[in-house]
């Protein structure tokens, strides 16, 4: 079959690989749509721990084409999406319903073969039906589930004012989720005016160009109850406390390169009683994410800006690196 393989940092190839075999409790899926994530770019650039060589891709949807003899909840022909997380289910974290902290944590597209291929084999328990949703919507369930987990971690109270750095696909999903939670004012900051204009079309109330003048602009209009980073840029993350009210909250959502360090004034955190949160993975939010999309409460398709063939992976990575895109979807050719 055809697949993308990251052989080493900076080296990704669209090539032929052997078809994976299906185990007793596994499901084979013909991938119909797969999302390119910032984590994929970090893996490609050697900035995120992954098991190389690797078929990446942890956001995908497709059609079930084969099931193992012990599979009982999935049928051939089902339209599905996949939770990429594979915890051990046995360690103390897993038994405490904190599977994302599992010390043997694995994930399809990070440490196991993922969805940037014509076909992927996954555990039955990781498969979720998408019913009548499109495959494009199905490919966006994983990032939405991560957003919902972030909302669980930091909380948004009705009437709060929220500022999100980054008007890319995650920033746009976060914005919609904050509105659902009851944010009264939603603001976005980005380098690109086109992205900010698009964010306003999805309900963002205020926009700021992320420039040296931004701290003064926010100080004049008033700081925010919650400030979220959706860029993964260390310089942006470092500046977040400047924009939050005393007693406010900061959420690190964007993925900075591993090993990054920033300057943080602990006296400022102490004196202003700032609360700083991190969020990782999705932790059992696939069903809520699917439900929100089915009910029309989250417009995930709106965040898509590019649709490319899987063979165009290098162009897709360049688009993401240049930040000249929102969500990029990749489409494998037909299998068989």
Return per-residue pLDDT of the chain as tens, 336 residues.
Answer: 999 999 999 999 999 999 999 999 999 999 999 999 999 999 999 999 999 999 999 999 999 999 999 999 999 999 999 999 999 999 999 999 999 999 999 999 999 999 999 999 999 999 999 999 999 999 999 999 999 999 999 999 999 999 999 999 999 999 999 999 999 999 999 999 999 999 999 999 999 998 999 999 999 999 999 999 999 999 999 999 999 999 999 999 999 988 999 999 999 999 999 999 999 999 999 999 999 999 999 999 999 999 999 999 999 999 998 877 899 999 997 653
| Cβ within 8 Å of residue 161, ≥6 positions away | 183, 184, 185, 186, 187, 222, 224, 225, 226
Q: Where are the domains of the chain?
A: 2-140+300-331, 146-278
Query: How would DSSP label each residue in 180-205?
Result: HHT-SEEEEEES-HHHHHHHHHTT--
Instruction: Tell me the two tokens of residue 147.
Output: 């957003």
Instruction: Tell me the two tokens of residue 221.
Output: 């209009």
Q: Which CATH number fits domain 2-140+300-331: 3.30.1330.60, 3.40.50.300, 3.40.50.620, 3.90.180.10?
A: 3.90.180.10
Instruction: Please report where in the chains the tokens 């009210």 appear, as a residue.
Output: 245
Query: What is the model's pTM?
Result: 0.95
146-278 fold: Rossmann fold (3.40.50)
């Amino acid at each position: 079959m055809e697949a993308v393989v990251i052989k080493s940092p900076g080296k990704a190839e669209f090539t032929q690989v052997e078809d994976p075999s299906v185990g007793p409790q596994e499901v084979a899926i013909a991938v119909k749509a797969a999302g390119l994530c910032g984590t994929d770019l970090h893996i490609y650039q050697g900035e995120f721990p992954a098991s190389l060589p690797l078929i990446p891709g942890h956001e995908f949807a497709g059609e079930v084409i084969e099931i193992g003899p012990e599979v009982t909840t999935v049928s051939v022909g089902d339209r599905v999406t996949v939770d990429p997380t594979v915890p051990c289910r046995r360690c103390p974290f897993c038994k405490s319903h904190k599977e994302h902290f599992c010390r043997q944590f694995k994930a399809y597209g990070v440490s196991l073969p993922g969805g940037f291929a014509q076909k992927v084999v996954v555990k039955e328990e990781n498969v979720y039906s998408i019913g009548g949703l499109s495959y494009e919507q199905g490919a966006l369930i994983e990032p939405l589930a991560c957003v919902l987990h972030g909302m669980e971690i930091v909380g948004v109270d009705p009437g709060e004012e929220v500022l999100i750095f980054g008007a890319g696909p995650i920033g746009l999903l976060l914005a919609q989720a904050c509105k659902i939670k009851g944010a009264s004012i939603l603001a976005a900051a980005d380098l690109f005016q086109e992205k900010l204009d698009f964010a306003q079309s999805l309900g963002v109330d205020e926009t700021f160009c992320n420039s040296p003048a931004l701290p003064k602009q926010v100080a004049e209009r008033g700081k925010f109850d919650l400030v979220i980073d959706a860029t993964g840029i260390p310089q942006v993350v470092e500046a977040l406390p400047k924009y939050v009210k005393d007693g406010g909250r900061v959420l690190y959502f964007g993925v900075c390169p591993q090993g990054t360090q920033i300057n943080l004034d602990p006296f400022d955190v102490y004196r202003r009683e700032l609360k700083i949160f991190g969020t990782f993975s999705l932790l059992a939010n696939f069903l809520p994410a699917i439900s929100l999309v089915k009910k029309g409460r989250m417009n995930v398709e709106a965040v898509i800006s590019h649709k490319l063939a899987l063979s165009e992976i290098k162009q897709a990575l360049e688009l993401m690196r240049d930040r000249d895109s929102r969500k990029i979807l990749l489409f494998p050719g037909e299998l068989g």
